[in-house]
Structure 1
Amino acid sequence: MTVDRILPTDEAHDLLGLATELADRELAPKAAAFEERAEFPREVLRTLGRAGLLGLPYPEEYGGAAQPYEVYLQVLEILASRWLAVAEAVSVHTLSCYPVAAFGSDEQRKLLPDMIGGELLGAYCLSEPQGGSDAASLSTRAVRDGDAYLVSGTKAWITHARTADFYNVFCRTGGPGPKGISCLVADAGTPGITPQAAERTMGLRASPVAQIAFDDARVPADRLIGGEGEGFTIAMSALDSGRLGIAACAVGLAQAALDYAVGYARERQQFGRSIIDFQGLGFLLADAATQISAARALTLAAARLRDAGRPYAIEAAKAKLFATDMAMRVTTDAVQVLGGAGYVADHPVERYMREAKVLQIVEGTNQIQRMVISRALARG
C-alpha cells in the first residue's frame, strides 16, 4: 500500500525517495537469507551511512543532514517495512550518537563525522543482567585512576555488542541512585572490554545481542560525557528520542505485514471468491489499516513536538506503547489471514510476528511506558 505522506520540504520528499530506492534494492532482497543465517549486515549499514541516512537528525557541521525528526522517523519506517533488523540498527546507532552530539564537548564532537557517517558503529550500554527497567540501580562501576577510569561490571541485552566500534557505557562513579551515574564513550577494542556469546533470540536474528563484560577496562577521562553524575539525565533524554525510533520501526513492520496479508487475501480463493471479500477477514484488515494510520499519526505528532523544542517525553511514551502493541496485534492477525501458510517460513509474516514482540520490550518495556504516562497523569 502506498502511504500518502505530507512532507515539510522537497528535500525531504527526495530523501524518502532515496530511502525507498535503497530499501528496495539493498534491504528487501537480503532480509530473509541474513535472518536465517543470523548474520549482521554490516556492509548494508555502511551503504546507508555513505548515502547520508545514518545522521539524518544531526547538524550538517558534523556530517549530518539536519533533518527534522519527523522526516527521520519516516525514513526509519520505510527501512523497517523492508527489513526490521536494519531499521533497528539505524535507530540504535542514532541513539548511540546522541550523548556526544547533545552533551559532548567541542573536542568530543570531533568524533561525530565518523560516527554519523557509518564508519564507526555504536552501541548503547545501559541495561544490566539484574537491572533493565530499573536503570537507576545499575552497578557497573568506573573508578578514577589518573587520566582514566577503570570500568568493571557487566552490561546485558546490548544491540551491536559484537560488531560495534564504540560503546556508550553508563556506569556508577558516585553513590547510589541516579545522581551517581555517569556516561563514558569507550572504544570497542579497549583491553578489558569483552563481548560475550550472542544470545539466541526469537526474532531479529540478524541483529546481534549479547552481554559485555568490563574488567578494569581503562577508558580515558576525556571520554566522560558531560560531568560526573550526569549520566542518568543523558540516558533518559536519549531514550525519549529512541522510543520514537522504535515506534517508527513498529509502524513500518506492521505496514509490511498488512501489505503482505492484503496481497495474499486478494489472490487466495475460497468458496469461489477472494478471501478478502469475506467480512471476517476484510474487517480485520480494515482495523489493521486504521490502527497503523493511528500509530503513524501519534508517532509523528510527538516528533513535531520534539522538532519544535517542546516537551515530548510523555507523547513519545504514548507513541512507543501504542505503536508496538499495534504491531504485535497486526502481525499476529497477518498470520491468521494466511492461515496455515502464515505459520511456515515460506511467507514472511511468521518472521514479522516474531520480530514484533521485541519492540514491546526494548527502549523501556510497555509496562514502563504505562508507568511513565500514568505518573504524568497523577502529577496533573
Structure 2
Amino acid sequence: MRLGIDKVAWTLLCYARIASHGLTDEQKEFQKVAFDFAANEMAPHMAEWDQKEIFPVETMRKAAQLGFGGIYVQPDVGGSGLSRLDTSVIFEALSTGCVSTTAYISIHNMCAWMIDTFGNNEQREKYCPDLCAMEKFASYCLTEPGSGSDAASLLTTAQCNGDHYILNGSKAFISGGGDTDVYVVMCRTGGKGPKGISCLVVEKGTPGLSFGKKEQKVGWNSQPTRAVIFEDCAVPVSNRLGEEGQGFNIAMKGLNGGRINIASCSLGAAHASLLLAREHLLVRKQFGETLSNNQYLQFRLAEMATKLVASRLMVREAAKALQEGRSDAVSLCSMAKLFATDECFSVSYNNNRIFSLNKDTSYLYSMCTDLQPGSSNVWWLWLP
C-alpha cells in the first residue's frame, strides 16, 4: 500500500518547517519577527538585488531597527545583547528571504561583536552604535591573494611610525568591500606566524585605502565583493583592537561565531527550498494525479527534511556550546558548519533537480556557504 504524503514525508516536512521547536517564547517571538521581515522586505526583492547587483542598504537599516544590526553586541553600545542560539534562529529566518543579504548581515554582526568584545571603551563607543544601527557597515578583512585557509601566513604589513601604523598589502574577496565604512583588518606587526598578527580598524576614506573592481559571481550578488588595497595607508595606533600580536586570536574567535552564522544561513536556504517543494508537490499533476502521491518523491522529500532537521539540531547545539564557553565549542562549530552547509546545499540542489523549481535560487546561495567563512575542507583541521 502506498502511503500519502500526509503519512510519510508530510510529518517530516512539517517538523522541518517548525523551526521554533524547543525554543523559548521570547525566541519564538523574535523568530516570527525575522520570518515576517524576510517574507515582506527581502524575498520580494531578492531576484532584483541579485540580477542588478544591488547592495540593499535601506532594507538592512530596516532590519537594524528590529535589533538585527548588532544581535550579540552588548546593549550599552546599541546592541541587542542576545545569545548565539538567538542569533542562529534569527539568521535562519532571515535567510528564507535572501541568503546573500543575510550572510552579509552576519559578517557585519561579527565585526561589530569583535569591536565590542576586544575594543576599549572609547573604540566601542566610537564604532558600535553606528554599526548596530547600520548607519555604517563593516567588513572583515583576513583573506589575501596568497593566504586563504593558511591565514597565519598573511603578508599585509603594519609598521609602527609614531602614533600611526603604515599599512601595505591587500585583502581578497572581501564581502562589502568598497561599499562599507569600517574594515576590521588583520595585518602583520611582528614576525612570522600567528603571534605576529594584530587587528586594526580602518575607516573608509583613509588616504592609501583603495578597492579593486567588483568581482563577478554566480549568485550572491546582493553583497559586493572586492579586493581591499593598502598603499602607505596611515592608521592611528588608537585603532588597534587589543594588544599587538593578539590579532590572530581575535580573528579566530570571530570566526567561531561566523561558522555558526553561515551554517544558519544555509538552514534558511534549505528551509525556503522545502517550502517551494511542498507547494509544487501539492499542485503539480502528472499521469492523472498530483506529485504528492508519488512514492519516490515522498521518500526523497522525507530524506531532505531529515537533513534539514539534523543540520538545525547540530547548529543549535554548537551555538549553545559557544555561548557557554565549553571546551568542545570550536570542534562543534566546525562540525556544524561542515555538516549543515553540505547537507543544506544537497537539499536545495536536489529540490531543483527533482522538481525543476524555477523560482528557487537557494542552491546557488547554498553553494557559497561552503566557502564562507573559509572552505569547508579546512574545517576538518579543527576537529578532534
Partner residue in 1 for 2:68 = 53
Alpha-carbon distance between aligned partners in 2 of 1:268 and 1:12, rounded to the nearest angstrom:
36
1:369 partnered with 2:379:
yes
Alpha-carbon distance between aligned partners in 2 of 1:37 and 1:156, rounded to the nearest angstrom:
22
Partner residue in 2 for 1:117 = 133
1:354 partnered with 2:364:
yes
**CA shift for structure 1 position 163:** 1.2
CA 1:321–1:53: 2 relative to 1, 3 Å: same
1:263 partnered with 2:279:
yes
Alpha-carbon distance between aligned partners in 1 of 2:197 and 2:114, rounded to the nearest angstrom:
14
1:214 partnered with 2:264:
no
**Per-residue displacement from partner, 1:328-366 (whole Å, max 9, x unpaired)?**
211111112224xx4xxxx232x2122111111111211
- Give yes or no for contact 1:79–1:87 (8 Å, CA) kept in 2: yes
- 3-state SS of paired residue (1:186): strand
- Give yes or no for contact 1:182–1:227 (8 Å, CA) kept in 2: yes
Alpha-carbon distance between aligned partners in 2 of 1:58 and 1:140, rounded to the nearest angstrom:
28
Matching residue within 181, 195, 199 for 1:179: 195
Give the 5 Å matches for 1:173-252.
173-252=189-268
CA 1:4–1:225: 2 relative to 1, 3 Å: closer
**CA shift for structure 1 position 6:** 4.1
Partner residue in 2 for 1:335 = 352
Alpha-carbon distance between aligned partners in 1 of 2:271 and 2:87, rounded to the nearest angstrom:
17
- 3-state SS of paired residue (1:263): helix
Partner residue in 2 for 1:98 = 113
1:314 partnered with 2:324:
no
Alpha-carbon distance between aligned partners in 1 of 2:36 and 2:282, rounded to the nearest angstrom:
26
Alpha-carbon distance between aligned partners in 2 of 1:18 and 1:186, rounded to the nearest angstrom:
33
Alpha-carbon distance between aligned partners in 1 of 2:101 and 2:134, rounded to the nearest angstrom:
13
Alpha-carbon distance between aligned partners in 2 of 1:128 and 1:4, rounded to the nearest angstrom:
37
- Give yes or no for contact 1:182–1:232 (8 Å, CA) kept in 2: yes
Partner residue in 1 for 2:5 = none
- Give yes or no for contact 1:80–1:253 (8 Å, CA) kept in 2: yes
Please report the TM-score for the alignment, with normalisation by the length of structure 1. Answer: 0.94
Give the 5 Å matches for 1:54-69.
54-69=69-84
- Unaligned stretches of 5+ in structure 1? none
1:278 partnered with 2:289:
no
Q: Which shows bigger deviation, 307-316 or 223-232?
A: 307-316
Please report the TM-score for the alignment, with normalisation by the length of structure 2. Answer: 0.93
**Identity within the alignment, %:** 34
Alpha-carbon distance between aligned partners in 2 of 1:80 and 1:287, rounded to the nearest angstrom:
21
**Per-residue displacement from partner, 1:276-334 (whole Å, max 9, x unpaired)?**
32122211111110000000000000111122232311100011000100122111111
- 3-state SS of paired residue (1:28): helix
Equivalent residues, number = 367
Partner residue in 1 for 2:144 = 128
Partner residue in 1 for 2:99 = 84
Partner residue in 1 for 2:3 = none
Alpha-carbon distance between aligned partners in 2 of 1:177 and 1:128, rounded to the nearest angstrom:
15
- Give yes or no for contact 1:261–1:337 (8 Å, CA) kept in 2: no
- Give yes or no for contact 1:148–1:218 (8 Å, CA) kept in 2: yes
**CA shift for structure 1 position 4:** 4.5
- Give yes or no for contact 1:265–1:337 (8 Å, CA) kept in 2: no
Alpha-carbon distance between aligned partners in 2 of 1:3 and 1:58, rounded to the nearest angstrom:
27
Q: Which 4+ residue blocks in structure 1 deviate beyond 6 angstroms?
A: none
Partner residue in 2 for 1:38 = 53
**CA shift for structure 1 position 179:** 0.7
Alpha-carbon distance between aligned partners in 1 of 2:255 and 2:267, rounded to the nearest angstrom:
18
Partner residue in 2 for 1:12 = 27
**Per-residue displacement from partner, 1:229-252 (whole Å, max 9, x unpaired)?**
110000111100000000100000
- Give yes or no for contact 2:39–2:96 (8 Å, CA) kept in 1: no
- Give yes or no for contact 1:153–1:213 (8 Å, CA) kept in 2: yes
- 3-state SS of paired residue (2:121): coil
The AA in structure 1 aligned to 2:106 is: S
- Unaligned stretches of 5+ in structure 2? 1-13
Alpha-carbon distance between aligned partners in 2 of 1:42 and 1:158, rounded to the nearest angstrom:
17
Backbone CA RMSD of aligned residues: 1.3
Alpha-carbon distance between aligned partners in 2 of 1:186 and 1:7, rounded to the nearest angstrom:
41
Matching residue within 41, 48, 62 for 1:26: 41
The AA in structure 1 aligned to 2:337 is: K
- 3-state SS of paired residue (1:216): strand
The AA in structure 2 aligned to 1:196 is: G
Higher relative contact order (Cα pairs below 8 Å, separated by 6+ residues): 2
- 3-state SS of paired residue (1:107): helix
